[in-house]
Structure 1
Amino acid sequence: MSNKRYPEEFKVEAVKQVTEKGHSVADVANRLGTTTHSLYAWIKRYGPDSSQYQAKSDESAEIRRLKKELQRVTEERDIFKKSRGVLRKPVRLRYAFIKANQAVWPVRRMCKVLSIHPSGYYAWLKQPDSRQEKRRKYLLGLIKQFWLESGGVYGYRKIYSDLRDEGECCGINQVHRLMKREGLQSQRGYRKPRPKVGTENVVVANKLAREFNPTAPNQSWVTDITYIKTHEGWLYLAVVVDLFSRRVIGWSMKSRITKELVLDALLMAIWRRSPSEKVLVHSDQGSQYTSHDWDKFLKQHGLESSMSRRGNCHDNAVAESFFQLLKRERVKRKIYSTREEARMDIFEYVEIFYNVKRRHGSNNQLSPVEYEKRYEERLISVY
């Protein structure tokens, strides 16, 4: 393993397992399949004492400050854009706008933009409904009752007639407005689904054909992209999985879902595996995988492309299964404040737990690394 090349992203995350997670150098080196000498060299270059780390920390602090300022300016812009003249309306309408959007923006930020004191808004919240609002709620209750009694088929005209028969004095336009605000409408006709015509657009044929159990490593790889939610925004993860052992042999994590995301993941797989024969690489028909650079990269490294049929996730079931395990066993149990925190946790799951320790049903309850190790031992014993 000492002659293998590792991308910088892999080295940085490996160093964090020692400097931030507290694992020993020997343990991390053993699990990642590298040497302690290499890991010490990575720590010296990317660790907390390096000049590169200090410069990156200062840069990250400045970026966080600028992001916070950008968020404030963006929120104020969006509040003005959505308010649509509310600033010129009476104060009670501005209060109503704030109440309707308090789940989107901070209350104090909206009060500042709309020239309202927060104490006035909170005092307005405690006040009872006006007489007109009580009347509207009473009518809305009757409207819902008549609409449900009709089986959900009456429109505003028939509901208006029911209200008049009950002796309620109201306008037909008022009934229409109340029903529209509550999403109540008459039963309408429906159109039969039209059959699909023409031929299906096939970018690359599905050469894998759901053959998910090859007989040796480096015969078939699958790749896909998923997204991880953090308080900073989405973190996109691309992986490359060897179908023989279900081992994640390449990955990349970035804040944008671009073609470089999938290219970096595949490049890591090539560096770690160094396949001597042609490998079938299966993906979906996402724009990243149908790009010219992806096709060019495959040809340069002697790889053969295969793609799922459009809209058919079952053709790439193994990659989908890995993402389901990752989110169920790790991501759904955490709340990530930053992308960096999510990146560290996902690296630990993939490289320290999933590849090395987690038992897999298709591997006779062996981890992917152990399954490949026993396969190599069988080959040596045969020859």
Structure 2
Amino acid sequence: MRYTYEFKKKAVELYRQGKWIDAPNDIINLKNFHDMIVRWHHLEESNTSDCLKHYGTNKKWSPEEKYELVARVIAGDTITSVAYTVGINSGLLAQWIRKYKIWGYNGLVGRRKGRKPKESAMKKMNINNPRKLNESEYEELIRLRAEITYIKAENEAIKKEIALREEREAALLKAKKQQSSKNSKKKGYLLKHLLKAMNMARSTYYFEINKTDPVAIRNEELLLVIKKIFVENKGRYGVRRVYMELKNRGYNVNHKRVQRLMHDAGLFGKRPKEKYHSYKGEVGKVADNVINRNFSTTLPLQKWTTDVSQFNFSWGKCYLSPILDMNTNEIISYDLALSPNLEQIKRMLDSGMYESDRLLPTTYIPEATKQLHPAPQRSCPVYNTGNNPED
């Protein structure tokens, strides 16, 4: 809020009498209003009464005037006292002091506010009618152009050389270095600049270009045979089968050499389809876990274990289902079948229960077994727990 000169003068006079002027209605913080009246009092004491007047424009302080005020603060005066003597805000003086400590006297020089001009303040050159160069300037221009051309070629060669250093073999490094020179030469760089940047003799460059690879020549015949085998078998042969076929044809080569040649030529055999898996997850009701991984026993015929094993033969498949006693590790009974079904399990259990009835007739049939296999069963149990709940 801006106050008039008369209001300020009256507020200062009442303050000197020990009274406060009535605050305007829009004043929220009365303490800040009283502090402002105290500042008006100090300003009038340090300066004339005209310092309370409001001028239309702010005073522009020159760098010399700013430096004089900053020097007074540095000499020992407080920021508030110096600001009161000249009638400015203490925060503005503190900002000048901070700029002086960072940039020195240049920080007190006023800078242009706002965006930078789009066009440079310098006078634009007339591109259509340029000034003619004298002899020394023309020679300097030719020298700079040649130097720029050499720097571009040197940068291109350095990029290629950094990539080439990552290669392990020296022979491959030389070959790629020569290829780098070829590629750089195709881009329009002079050969003498490229050779100078790569520190390579001209004779070495042409020697690498005209040199033939003896390893590639030695592998030409073998590579043709490998491609022929690959095509004859409709792309189904991989490295191992191609290697075996080469041995059958009388070629005594290493499998690593065959693998390298096939990979370089892009010959990859077809992969077989994924095998069929008949497992479909949990189907039906799962019996209670009575054993709970407690396989220890004290007497025979307490706990049995069984599993179905598959055997592959030339004439087909055979399935073996045995019963093993966990106490004696004795095979109680077993059954062989061409199909793993419930009939095989029943036959195995019938045989096992016959032995258990003969050795230990006091047995029972668990309720979980009756729920899983509702088919009619004989009086013998599926397995013997050794603990009859009816006893």
Q: Output the TM-score relative to the length of structure 1.
A: 0.29
Q: Which has the higher contact order (CA 8 A, sep 6+)?
A: 1
Bigger radius of gyration, 1 or 2? 2
